[in-house]
Amino acid sequence: MTRITNRYFKRTFWMWLIFALMMVALTPKTAVWAAFGEDLEKPKPEFTREGDVITAKLIPRAKSTSVMIHFQVSGGRLVDVEGMDFKEAEHPGVDNKDFKSELFMIKIDKVSPGGEVKVSITSDFFSSSTQFWVFNRTSKDPWMNSDVQNQSLPDLVQKLVVSVKDGGPFDSDGTADGRITLVGGPKDSFWGYALGTLFIRFFGIFLVLSILMIGMIVSGKIFQMLDRKKEERGKEIQLQPAAATPDIQPAETVEPELATAICIALHLHFSEQRSTATSYFFTPALSPWARQGRERIMNARTIPTNRGNRLQNR
């Protein structure tokens, strides 16, 4: 076994180890990015309208179930909300992974020229740290934090309120014409989310297993206590005085000759069954492990068959 392991260790394991570690260490990050160029998670929202509210339904990045995001506008009329691929707004310094969905293009009209509207974006998917970043390709710095008002509502729902001025920096058409086009998306720090939740979940495992451990310790103590009580009760029964048991009176008297004959017959019968040759087992290199096992087996045997050769076998 050892020889095979060593041979394998020499020939194969180090080859694998060096190869695998070299792959991780030497692969430049850019090459890796190129290798994973395709974005597997492309959340495409589906929109539905109900009165003044437009709802986007999408499966966000790193989630398996869909979420709803509701859009509403005060101070103007919400015409339409469309999805926009992040590629159209790609810019150095802004990581699309921080956006858990595609971007949204929100179209508003019936705004008083140069006036301000408030866009409310509501979802239970947002957290209190969610921001709303606006993209305006005509601006010098196309990506801007909208300094959104993040309000907490019942049932863990968060409401982001963005103030947009017609013709202002957030308005993509750039003119005060009574119409606003707002492009942007809710943003959460990717690394903040990943590391924060990870930290919590790692300690969550400790917590879960610690609770299980406490449960097992408590139940173990209870079982041990019950076993002890049972054992004590058993001992008590054994120690009860003989007077407690009724005297067994012989049903009839037997002649001594007859009793002797029966005893001899029984003796001969059992002697015949007994092996004449004595068996000895010599195991000089007995390990403590095997010894302990053998002792347990011996103790578990019924008393009449325990021939007491335990000491010889040590």
Partner 1 sequence: MTWDQVLELIKSILLTQTGVPNLAIGQVIMILISFFFLYLAVAKEYEPLLLVPIGFGIFLVNFPLAPLMGFTEHGDPELIRAFYKYGVQWEIIPCLIFLGLGAMTDFGPLIANPKTLIIGAGAQIGVFITYCGTLFFGFTLKEAASVAIIGGADGPTTIYLTAMLAPQLLGPNALAAYSYMAMVPLIQPPIMRLMTTPEQRRIKMRQLRPVSAKEKLLFPLIASIFIILLIPAVAPLMGMFMFGNFMRECGVVKRLSDTAQNAMMNIVTILLGLSVGATMQADVFLSWKPMLIFGFGLLDFIICTFGGILTVHIMNLFLKEKMNPLIGSAGVSAVPMAARVSQVEGQKADPDNWLIMHAMGPNLAGVIGSASAAGMFIAMFK
Total residue count of the chain as it appears in this document: 314
Burial 239-276 (b: 16+ CB within 10 A, else e): eeeeeeeeeeeeeeeeeeeeeeeeeeeeeeeeeeeeee
Stretch that binds partner 1, among 115-123, 130-138, 148-156, 213-221 (CB under 8 A): 213-221
- Give strand ranges (E) for 64-115: 67-74, 77-84, 103-109
Secondary structure element (H or E) that encloses residue 158, with its range: strand 157-165
Burial 148-164 (b: 16+ CB within 10 A, else e): bebeeeeeeebbbbbeb
- By CB under 8 A, the residues from 181 to 210 that bind partner 1 are 191, 194-195, 197-198, 201-202, 204-210
CB of 214 to partner 1, least distance (A): 8
Q: Which residue of 15, 153, 213, 261 would you call a contact of partner 1, by CB under 8 A?
A: 213
Decide: is 299 part of the binding site for partner 1 (CB under 8 A): no
CA 126, CA 112: separation in Å to the nearest integer?
Answer: 31
Q: Which residue of 46, 124, 147, 227 would you call a contact of partner 1, by CB under 8 A?
A: 227
Q: Which residue of 3, 36, 141, 304 would you call a contact of partner 1, by CB under 8 A?
A: 36
- By CB under 8 A, the residues from 64 to 123 that bind partner 1 are 64-65
Decide: is 29 part of the binding site for partner 1 (CB under 8 A): yes
Give the residue among 133, 122, 119 at the shortest CA–CA distance from 162: 119
Name the residue with tokens 């394998």: 8
CA 312, CA 118: separation in Å to the nearest integer?
Answer: 95
- By CB under 8 A, the residues from 258 to 297 that bind partner 1 are 288-289
Q: Which residue of 15, 153, 156, 217 would you call a contact of partner 1, by CB under 8 A?
A: 217
Decide: is 63 part of the binding site for partner 1 (CB under 8 A): yes
Using the minimum distance from each CB to partner 1, give the nearer residue, 137 or 202.
202
Decide: is 127 part of the binding site for partner 1 (CB under 8 A): no
Give the residue among 43, 44, 45 at the shortest CA–CA distance from 56: 45
Using the minimum distance from each CB to partner 1, give the nearer residue, 37 or 250.
37
Decide: is 248 part of the binding site for partner 1 (CB under 8 A): no
Q: What would the DSSP string read from start to end of 204-236? A: HHHHHHHHHHHHHHHHHHHHHHHHHHHHHHHHH
Note the residues at the interface with partner 1 (CB under 8 A).
4-5, 8-9, 12-13, 16-17, 20-21, 23-24, 27, 29, 31-33, 35-36, 39-41, 61-65, 191, 194-195, 197-198, 201-202, 204-213, 215-217, 219-220, 223-224, 227, 288-289
